[in-house]
Chains A and B, each alone.
Chain A
Amino acid sequence: MRRFVLIAVPYAWLVALFLVPFLIVLKISLSDTALAIPPYVPKFEWAEGIMAFLRQLDFENFIFLTEDNLYWKAYLSSLQIATISTILTLMVGYPIAYGMARAPAEWRPTLMMLIILPFWTSFLIRVYAWMGILSQEGFLNQFLLWTGIINEPLTIINTNTAVYIGIVYTYLPFMILPIYAALDRMDGSLIEAAEDLGCSRLMAFWLVTIPLSKNGIIAGSFLVFIPALGEFVIPSLLGGSRTLMIGKVLWEEFFSNRDWPVASAVAVILLLILVVPIVLFQRNQQKQAEAES
């Protein structure tokens, strides 16, 4: 009885506020635009039976998505931005994680705290901080003009470059922490053994350190890639009107165009795209857990 209550309460909550809403999205994405425009009266006629429900199905919204270039481009450009920024985050994050793992043991908790600290501060504020830096007359341009590297201020804000910088900056801890965890577990004598067996420093790094931190790299990459794909705040604040990301399209479809069925269809497809990396990520985590036990 107690066990039943313990399971039932969180279970019911999640079904009601996670699963059901998601099924509603699915249903609306398959319903007629005209019917669903606000003030929208949802009809949950589950009782009608499966056949009636299937007859009602309407893929119009999805067909609409395939016909309009905007959505194709948004999906592809989301994938592209997420991929490029994941690679950039890895390139920035790996040396930091590596440095942390090689730092003296008594520094490590402090370094760790310094990595986690930005994570606790507001995401919005961290993105906002870059708005002032990247703008036309912002700190970066002032600095570069002062050093004489450039003569004309660069246009960074409202471009994809700004979005890359924003994603790398905000998701960096997600990349560093799993890599650091993998490197920290590594036995230091392995490198010494590799060097003893004739490897140069660089070769030992390439042949021993990198393969042993592979799981951390994979985990970190997914942790950046998955949320970056559906990102809204960064493209909306740092990106320009030409920065297409699917999260932003969904938002605009919903709040500006008030086309709920299309917004729902966009959401469904975004999820379908996310399923692949999520499943891969899960499998990687599981494999790692099994290897450890």
Chain B
Amino acid sequence: MMRLSWFNVVSLTLGFAFLYIPMIILVIYSFNAGKLVTVWSGFSTKWYGELTQNEAFLNAAWVTLKVAVVSSTFATVLGTMAAYVLVRAGRFTGRTLFSGMIYAPLVMPEVITGLSLLLLFIGIGLDRGIVTIVLAHTTFSMCYVSVVVSSRLVTFDQSLEEAALDLGCSPIEAFRLVTLPIIAPAVISGWLLAFTLSLDDLVIASFTSGPSATTLPIKIYSAVRLGVSPEINALSTIMIAIVTVGVISASLVSKRNLVRQKREMQAAERA
């Protein structure tokens, strides 16, 4: 077993401090009584209260949530299909173009994706609003979903599907009864990824949203450009808290399942 040297300990400590101190400061100042986020002037939760009164923020949050739920669901369906095509469909005409279109959006600068989609929407005369943001978000996040799902499909034991066919399933039944339940964790994490990408997106949403629909990141960005404000800190703290609780509980659940499964397997082998 290797042991941590002092160098490892120092670099891990400094590294994690670098990653987390900015967040911690952000959270602490959300409870600042004063208007300034740099000078501590006593504990208060008044900024959270003010946030609940801020109609514009609440509206934007609602729009963002709707967009995220719808677009990530579409993206999961399309992305899973695309992953299946990439891993299982074998050769077909235009396969190279297809896989290119799956991987390109992952490295495409958001400004370009946003600009090109906007020009398309104007070209076909589609009014910018929730629909256009959903279309845009579905397009780029389906590529992320397909990467997540295809990496699971690659390690998927294909004989399981063959066994299902052998036992009388049609190909669709085999997918529904065997493949889908087994790759479900990857599909769910694909959905979660698509959901957070959509919640998070500023650039593409700025290009594709219209006056009728503003998302939370757009609102935060325009507020932040004018300078820091404790209200944004409060909003950020809420978002960080939600993510932290979500990620930690998800990893605890998966760790517990893993440990249980391992123990059961050991017990089975001993018996």
Question: CB within 8 Å of B: which residues of A?
Answer: 2-3, 6-7, 9-11, 13-15, 17-22, 24-25, 28, 38, 40, 42, 44, 92-93, 95-96, 98-100, 102-104, 109, 111, 113-118, 120-126, 128-133, 135, 137-139, 142, 169, 172, 188, 191, 226-227, 229-233, 236-237, 247, 250-251, 254-255, 260, 263-264, 267, 270-271, 274, 278, 281-282
The interface residues of chain B lying within 8 Å CB-to-CB of A25 are 112, 115-116, 119
- From residue B73, how far is it (CB to closest CB) to chain A in Å? 14
CB under 8 Å from chain A, chain B span 50-84: 78-79, 81-82, 84
Summed over the interface, the residue pairs from A and B with CB atoms below 8 Å come to a total of: 236
Known contacts A237-B224, A237-B225: A267-B111 contact under CB 8 Å: yes
- Which residue of the partner chain A has the closest CB to B29? A132
In Å, the complex CA distance between A224 and B38 comes to 31
Identify which of A18, A115, A118, A123 gathers the most chain B CB atoms within 10 Å of its CB.
A18
- From residue B44, how far is it (CB to closest CB) to chain A in Å? 17
Among B94-102, B159-167, B180-188, B261-269, the stretch in contact with A:
B94-102
B228 contacts which of A131, A191, A232, A281 (Cβ < 8 Å)? Answer: A131
Known contacts A28-B119, A128-B236: A118-B23 contact under CB 8 Å: yes
Cross-chain contact B12 with A21 (CB below 8 angstroms):
no
- From residue B85, how far is it (CB to closest CB) to chain A in Å? 5
Identify which of A7, A125, A142, A226 gathers the most chain B CB atoms within 10 Å of its CB.
A125
The interface residues of chain A lying within 8 Å CB-to-CB of B78 are 9-10, 13
Cβ of B221 under 8 Å from chain A: yes
Cross-chain contact B38 with A137 (CB below 8 angstroms):
yes
Cross-chain contact A42 with B115 (CB below 8 angstroms):
no
- From residue B118, how far is it (CB to closest CB) to chain A in Å? 8
Cβ of B148 under 8 Å from chain A: no
Q: How large is the interface on B (under 10, 10 to 19, 20 to 34, 35 or more residues)?
A: 35 or more
The interface residues of chain B lying within 8 Å CB-to-CB of A122 are 199-200, 217, 236, 239, 243
- Which residue of the partner chain A has the closest CB to B115? A267
Cβ of B244 under 8 Å from chain A: yes
Cross-chain contact B122 with A40 (CB below 8 angstroms):
yes
A2 contacts which of B37, B107, B109, B171 (Cβ < 8 Å)? Answer: B171
In Å, the complex CA distance between A32 and B13 comes to 56
A247 contacts which of B92, B109, B227 (Cβ < 8 Å)? Answer: B109
Cβ of B212 under 8 Å from chain A: no
- Which residue of the partner chain A has the closest CB to B9? A99
In the complex, the 8 A-B pairs of residues with the closest C-beta atoms, listed nearest first = A230-B109, A95-B11, A21-B116, A96-B15, A99-B8, A129-B22, A99-B12, A21-B120
The interface residues of chain B lying within 8 Å CB-to-CB of A109 are 251, 255
A126 contacts which of B22, B107, B196, B224 (Cβ < 8 Å)? Answer: B22
- Which residue of the partner chain B has the closest CB to A136? B38
The interface residues of chain A lying within 8 Å CB-to-CB of B251 are 109, 113
- From residue A154, how far is it (CB to closest CB) to chain B in Å? 14
The interface residues of chain B lying within 8 Å CB-to-CB of A44 are 123
Contacts A232-B111, A237-B224 known; 8 new A-B pairs at CB < 8 A: A14-B139, A92-B15, A113-B248, A116-B247, A121-B240, A128-B228, A130-B22, A139-B25
- Which residue of the partner chain B has the closest CB to A191? B2
Known contacts A2-B172, A260-B119: A102-B4 contact under CB 8 Å: yes
- From residue A38, how far is it (CB to closest CB) to chain B in Å? 8
- Which residue of the partner chain A has the closest CB to B19? A118
In Å, the complex CA distance between A28 and B225 comes to 30
Identify which of A44, A137, A230 gathers the most chain B CB atoms within 10 Å of its CB.
A230
The interface residues of chain B lying within 8 Å CB-to-CB of A116 are 247
Contact with A along B191-223 (1 / 0, CB 8 A): 000001001101100110000000001001100
